[in-house]
Amino acid sequence: MSPKFPTSPKPPTPSKFILRHLTALALTLALPLPIFAAPEAARTVADTAPIAPDPKAEAFVNDLLARMTLSEKLGQMSQIALNQTPTGADVDDRIRKGEVGSFLFTTDAARISRLQHLAVEHSRLHIPLIFGFDVIHGFRTIYPVPIALAASWDPKQAERAQNMAAREASAVGVNWTFAPMLDIARDPRWGRMMEGAGEDPYLGSRMAEAQVRGFQGEHIGEPGHILACIKHFVGYGAAAGGRDYEEANISDEQLENVYLPPFHAAVNAGAGSLMSAYMDLNGVPATGNHWLLHDVLRERWHFSGFVVSDWESVQSLSTHGFSSGPADAAARAVNAGVDMEMTSSVYHDDLPAAVNDSTVKQATIDDAVRDILLAKYRLGLFQNPYVDVSRAPSQLVTAEQRTAARSVAASTAVLLRNQGNLLPLSKSLHTIALIGPLTDSKPDTMGSWSLAGHYEDTVTVLEALRKRFPASVAIHSTKGVEIDRGAPTIFDAQFQSPKPTLKTDEARESEFRHAIDLVKQSEVAVLVLGEQQSMSGERASRSSLKLPGQQQELLEAAVATGKPVVLVLLNARPLDITWASEHVPSILEVWYPGTEGGNAVADLLFGDANPGGHLPFAWPRSVGQIPINYARNLTQIPDDPDHRYWDSSSLPLYPFGYGLTYTSFTLGHLKQAAPSARSGSTLAVSVDVTNTGKSAGDQVLQLYTHQRSGSASRPIRELKGFQRVTLKPGETRTVTLSLDTNQLSFWSSQTHTRSIEPDTFDLWVGTDANASDHSIFTVTE
Ligand code: BGC
């Protein structure tokens, strides 16, 4: 793979390879025929109905298409990466000739404007460019990482964050984000868990829809919004061993019931583009996978947007041992359904010959170009292609953005432990020790994929505390230990955590002792530990979940002083905190909280915000428990789930959906509107929730179901509804969760269909996956 930020695009090379026909491919990839029929009364769930085309848009695009040369068409299908170095003359020339349709990594408004003027005013057909960028959790103002947004269990917060991010990106002329990432991740060794919504397809689907709405608004082209790109289709999160880019082998059952649903939900929510994944899915590269990109995406789901490859993933079809060379790679990708090639140039180089010898049909090219032009049309680029360069700076890191970033960050924190109600801390403390390598690191407060963010905008925990308290309050702060990934990252040139400065053992020991001395001199110690931003994200997989470096030793030494210790975690995967869960009174997971992260953490520590987030994954005790997702099937010796290992508990440290608050809640009076529901209808389930504590706080009500029998075994519990509510002290509210029985449908590996099978179901409502308020309902035909 070439560097993430090439300084100039690759010049075109002549085509060298003779292409092969792919007639056998669709047959090879087709699903086996059903072996068993669905149970008599099962209601087969139909796939999505096609979205009505817009005749005006179609007519416009078809007219344009009829006037385009093959070279111009391939230009629309080509995306070039540009970083912030000056645009070379060859790029200008390609724009004039209509040989490029899109750029990525161009975030400077003036540069975007210059390139767009060139395309619209100096290319033969005046087709505007589309500018893509990884707006993953904010643009200039950085919001909490996506796994944190999922931990809010509040789709409105996720929508708000992405809406604010879209506003900033669109202000500089970026009109397309490579987000949201919808990969289900059940292996926290995989670094990109950070970019998704965790382990669960239901939570993942709701977060997917919310983020698509946030980026795109009510419809594609709404001012202040940008095009979403759902990625990586599909199965990337199941990389073998959690090793980034490795192949994924996923059973049809898991693919249909776990990995595909968030994508399907996002397609139904109107996502305008989709990115194919890097890896092999069950032996076929996702970027050359006709079954995925055509049969599932187009035929079954009627996706009407366009498909972009991942970075060089068209060209690298040969690396997989799938295509025989660049020309074959180009033909296979476009025939599978990849409309635009990201950064490699085999479409440009090799598709002319392929069209010439009919390896690729002209109609296939036209379909790809039509999808791309329609997206540009829907975005309004043909009517209004230009960004207002003079207005752009005033739209970035505004007070409104900061306020939103701070409150979204506070809403994502998860309180994991709070012995003796140590948190919130008293506002009348006189001495606080703030210790750890992440207390004052701006990049590590922002998190990975913050490429357009600026360090100087970011507020660290130390800065926030210093600002919050008068000089009379002593905030003793030091790192205690340093951490370093010790290996290069793909973003090194753009974005770096502080490098270690303590070069000798003596210096390191002295710093450690100094930190512990500061703890001894203080009334309370807050340790800000976790992982540097580069330890999560792309090419950031780990083989261990331990706190990196000597952080565990630092934590143990701080606790050994006898002072009350609060552990604040900055990270984006569950770490091995089993010791801390028994010895550290308070543990607050704040993820990578973003530009206003320090202020949000200070709000949480001192009770100006009350943690209300819940875990979007089950938290393992150690790396050996992976995978430990809650939705699993029950088998032999069901009443002893804790002894599947003889050398450790087989239960997670914290269950999926878990989270505490500074107040307390009781639940009661679980009621169903009826004992049964017709298949396809909705069953109202209500529960009374009371805030029994002394402060206002949030609780997340979660509804789980279990199908007792059917054509296949069903998971012991599956999330099927949730709602986050805010209650004043003493307040009781009846919360109604609507159980849509369509959500009970599943794809059975026995019937090879998705259906709702009439049966008896268990139902639980509670505040995590161990919810105990139980009832039973039946689904009838
Ligand atoms: C990543 C994508 C990303 C693209 C462009 C790839 O390496 O896998 O998620 O959108 O680069 O930055």
Map 441-461 to HEC letters.
CHHHHHCCCCCCCCHHHCCCH
**Whole-angstrom distance, CA of residue 431 vs CA of residue 447:** 29
Is residue 362 within 8 A of residue 395, CB to CB? The reply is: no
| 641 vs 637: CA distance, rounded Å | 8
- The rounded distance, in Å, linking the Cα atoms of 722 and 615 is 13
Long-range contacts of 505-509, Cβ-Cβ distance < 8 Å, separation of 24 or more:
508/481, 508/482, 508/550
User: Ligand 1 center to residue 686 CA distance, Å?
Assistant: 42
- Verify whether ligand 1 is closer than 6 Å to residue 378 (CB atom): no
pLDDT, residue 86, reads: 56
Burial of 583 (0-12, 13-18, 19+ CB in 10 A): middle
Nearest ligand 1 atom to alpha carbon 236: 8
Greatest distance between any 2 Cα atoms in the chain: 80
**CB-ligand 1 contact for 105 (6 Å cutoff):** no
**What per-residue confidence (pLDDT) applies to 641?**
87
Query: How far, in Å, from the CA of 366 to the mean position of ligand 1?
Result: 26
Which atom belonging to ligand 1 lies closest to the Cα atom of 278? 8
Task: Please tell me the residue having the least CA distance from ligand 1 atom 4.
Answer: 311
Is 247's C-beta closer than 6 angstroms to any atom of ligand 1? no
* Cα 540 to averaged position of ligand 1 atoms, centre (Å): 13
Q: List the catalytic residues.
A: 310
Indicate the DSSP class of residue 404.
H
| Nearest protein Cα to ligand 1, atom 10 | 178
| Torsions phi, psi for 437 (to 5 deg) | -70, -10
Angle 575-581-583 (CA atoms, 0-180°, nearest 5)?
Answer: 125
Q: How far apart are CA 283 and CA 638, in angstroms?
A: 34
Rounded CA gap, 721 and 683, in Å? 11
d(CA 661, CA 556): 25
Q: Is the CB of 714 under 6 A from ligand 1?
A: no
Question: From the CB of 183, is ligand 1 less than 6 Å away?
Answer: no
For the chain, give the number of residues.
Answer: 781
CA of 244 to the centre of ligand 1 (A): 12
| Separation of CA 311 and ligand 1 centre (Å) | 6
Structure tokens at 67: 């006037």
Q: Is 617 in the pocket of ligand 1 (CB under 6 A)?
A: no
Contact 80, 102 (CB under 8 A): yes
Q: Which amino acid is at 138?
A: G
For ligand 1, atom 12, which residue shows the shortest CA distance? Answer: 134
Q: How many CB atoms lie within 10 A of CB 511?
A: 17
Residue nearest (by alpha carbon) to ligand 1 atom 11 = 311
Pocket probe for ligand 1: among 2, 106, 133, 134, the residue whose CB has the most ligand atoms within 8 Å is 134
CA distances from 749 to 36, 131, 224, 236, 321 (A): 9, 42, 44, 22, 29
Dihedral of CA atoms 655, 658, 663, 668 in degrees, nearest 10, equals -80
How are the residues of the chain apportioned to helix, strand and coil, as percentages rounded to the nearest 5?
35, 20, 50
Place of tokens 């952080």: 551
Ligand 1: residue whose CA is nearest its atom 8: 310
Alpha-carbon distance of 225 to 282, in angstroms, equals: 36
pLDDT of residue 32: 37
DSSP-derived secondary structure letter, 259: I
How crowded is residue 189: how many other Cβ atoms within 10 Å of its Cβ?
19
Q: Which residues of 457-469 are buried (b: 16+ CB within 10 A; e: fewer)?
A: bbbbbbbbbbebb
Low-confidence ranges of the chain (pLDDT < 70): 1-40, 83-87
pLDDT at 50: 72
**Is the minimum distance from the CB of 231 to ligand 1 under 6 angstroms?**
yes
Quote the CA–CA distance of 498 and 507 in Å, as a whole number: 17
Q: Which atom of ligand 1 is least distant from the CA of 178?
A: 10
Please classify residue 503 by burial: count the beta carbons closer than 10 Å to its beta carbon, then call 0-12 exposed, 13-18 middle and 19+ buried.
exposed
**CA angle, 341 as apex, 29 and 13 as ends, to 5°?**
115
In angstroms, rounded to a whole number, what is the distance separating the alpha carbons of residues 330 and 652?
A: 45
Provide the angle, in degrees to the nearest 10, between the axes of the packed helices 597-605 and 399-412. Answer: 50
- Closest residue to atom 6 of ligand 1, CA basis: 311
Q: How many helices (H) and strands (E) does the chain have?
A: 21, 27
Q: Which residues have a Cβ under 8 Å from the Cβ of 763 and sit 6 or more positions away?
A: 672, 685, 703, 704, 705, 739, 774, 775, 776, 777
Separation between Cα atoms, residue 289 and residue 25, nearest integer Å: 9
Q: Which atom of ligand 1 is nearest to the CA of 132?
A: 5
For residue 299, the CA-to-ligand 1 centroid distance in Å is 26
- Whether 332 and 303 have beta carbons less than 8 Å apart is answered as no
Residue 428's H or E segment, with its range, is: none
Q: What local confidence, expressed as pLDDT, does residue 83 receive? A: 66
- Long-range contacts of residues 588-591, Cβ cutoff 8 Å, at least 24 apart: 588/413, 588/414, 588/415, 588/416, 588/423, 589/151, 589/413, 589/414, 589/415, 589/416, 589/613, 589/615, 590/148, 590/409, 590/412, 590/413, 591/144, 591/145, 591/147, 591/148, 591/151, 591/412, 591/413, 591/447
In angstroms, the CA 206 to CA 211 distance is 9
Beta carbon of 192 within 6 Å of any ligand 1 atom: no
Q: How far apart are CA 464 and CA 513, in angstroms?
A: 25
At position 270, the amino acid (one-letter code) is: G
Using DSSP's 3-state secondary structure scheme, residue 276 falls into strand
Q: Which two tokens stand for residue 600?
A: 């949000």
